[in-house]
Chain A
């Protein structure tokens, strides 16, 4: 594998996480539990879509076939998406949305802090831009985890259920394959082994502060690095890609 090919795949994976989570969160537009939360979640969605745009544009540039970020975002089949399985999980009740945000944003905070040091200048620049936004996402998710976990018996129960339900999708965040290995040797990719340990510590701290139990590591779902997804992604794409599929090249 050439560095170019590996960097393309690596960038696409990061871009897909941002794109699909951006779409997921945008589903909550006008459906937030309270007005301020509606604004907050859609603000996070907007940040995600901005990051996706930057990353997918870079992926298109690396590929060098004259595609745009939109071509990449809207014209691939499910098996060619590489977002983590956790990202595509449904919004569920508010506790599920928050648990997913907690797991993802703590991971992203640790990950993008390291990616800022990447030898790939574009990835490093995008990382230094996006890390500022991630801090807000993470603080927001932590605040709500504490509030719900250490809240009423009902909110505590729901938050614990959400944490338990989503736990099996967290192992995949730290998987590495030959793309990661090659780019790590070249100082481009982030080593996920130390990230995993830090993530566990941080999540444990937040959960215990929120009076929630940290689930045991049992079976972990996997597949997204090969384009194998849960049934949720297909439903997301059918909505997200509708306009481009029905009216290719449509312009505002």
Chain B
């Protein structure tokens, strides 16, 4: 039973502002994690996709979706996880990329830059915009980030991996 009559679009808008638990400056909609809302057998099905298969934020995002909808009187909610189509950084909006940069995380380039065996990827320093940066570690503080340092301002910074 759907207790409150809302269109799927309205439900989508309600949950779209949920911030990503690990990068709170951008929302799950900005990130492309929120895939859609539909009604099935009288329940709202909210579909989300993980950035990485083991993204530990998925459980929390699912809980937050239910919480926010419950506060609007919507209780019959199922959160569904999908792997297809596979998440890509191409889904990040331009606005989201700017927010990331402001937060100190170098935004991802187009996903095609993650070509195998190419090390020539240019990542700009989010602090001073210098293009003279070097990779410290391909694996950073979360699954979706790598660790870089700026050769000009000497700051180390996180870079969102192209995916």
Determine if B53 and A50 form an interchain contact, defined as CB atoms under 8 angstroms apart. yes
Can you list 18 A-B contacts with CB-CB less than 8 angstroms, sorted by A residue number? A36-B136, A36-B139, A39-B137, A39-B140, A43-B140, A43-B143, A50-B55, A53-B54, A54-B83, A125-B84, A126-B83, A128-B86, A129-B84, A129-B87, A135-B114, A136-B161, A138-B116, A140-B139
The answer to whether A136 touches B139 (Cβ under 8 A) is yes
Size of the B side of the interface (Cβ < 8 Å), in residues, is: 25
- List residues of A whose CB falls within 8 A of some B CB: 36-37, 39-40, 43-44, 46-51, 53-54, 121, 124-126, 128-130, 132-133, 135-136, 138-140
> What residues of chain A lie closer than 8 Å to B116, measured between beta carbons?
135, 138-139
Provide the residues of chain B in CB contact with A139, threshold 8 Å: 116-117, 138
Contact between chains at A40 and B143 (CB < 8 Å): no
Assembly CA distance A133 to B147 (angstroms) = 16
Interchain CB contact under 8 A, A140 and B138: yes
> Helix, strand, loop or mixed for chain A's interface?
helix
Contacts of A36 in B (CB 8 A): 136-137, 139, 147
Q: How far is the CA of A70 from the CA of B62 in the complex (A)?
A: 19
A125-B55 in contact (CB<8A): no
Given contacts A47-B143, A130-B53, 11 further A-B contacts (CB under 8 A): A36-B147, A39-B141, A39-B147, A46-B143, A50-B55, A125-B82, A125-B83, A125-B84, A126-B53, A129-B53, A140-B139
Check if A125 sits within 8 Å of B138, measured CB to CB.
no
Within 8 A of A (CB), among B22-79: 50, 52-56
CB-CB under 8 A from B85, the residues of chain A are 128
- B163 interfacial by beta-carbon distance below 8 Å: yes
Q: How far is the CA of A121 from the CA of B82 in the complex (A)?
A: 12
Instruction: Give the docked Cα–Cα distance between A139 and B139 (Å).
Output: 11
- Give CA–CA (A180, B98) in the complex, Å: 48
Provide the bound-state CA to CA distance between A14 and B147, in Å: 30
Measured between beta carbons, the chain A residues less than 8 angstroms from B50 are 50, 129
Task: Assess the A44–B139 pair: CB atoms within 8 A.
Answer: yes
Is the beta-carbon distance between B55 and A40 smaller than 8 angstroms? no
Q: How far is the CA of A133 from the CA of B54 in the complex (A)?
A: 10
A125 touches B143 (CB 8 A): no
Closest to B163 in A: A132
Contact B86 A47 (CB under 8 A): no
Q: Which residues of B contact A43 (CB under 8 A)?
A: 139-140, 143
Chain A neighbourhood of B114, CB < 8 A: 132, 135
| Chain B residue contacts of A37, Cβ below 8 A | 137
Top 6 closest pairs, chain A to chain B, by CB = A50-B54, A50-B53, A125-B84, A36-B137, A43-B139, A40-B139
